[in-house]
Amino acid sequence: MTDRISKEHRSWNMSRIRGKDTKLEVLLRSLLHRRGFRFRLHAPGLPGKPDIVLPKYRTVIFVHGCFWHRHEGCSNATMPKTRTEFWTEKFHRTVERDARKKTELEALGWQILTVWECELFADPQDVIKTIENQVVNSI
Q: What is the pLDDT at residue 57?
A: 94
Q: How far apart are CA 95 and CA 87, in angstroms?
A: 12
Task: Categorize the per-residue pLDDT at 13 as very low, low, confident or very high, splitting at 50, 70 and 90.
Answer: confident
Domains within the chain, CATH numbers bracketed: 19-137 (3.40.960.10)
**In this structure, are residues 61 and 50 in contact, taking their beta carbons and an 8 Å threshold?**
yes
**Cβ neighbours, 10 Å, residue 103:** 12
Q: Does residue 139 surpass a pLDDT of 70?
A: no
Judge contact between 88 and 94, C-beta under 8 A.
Answer: no
What's this model's pTM, rounded to 2 decimal places? 0.85
What is the per-residue pLDDT for 11? 76
Amino acid at 51: D
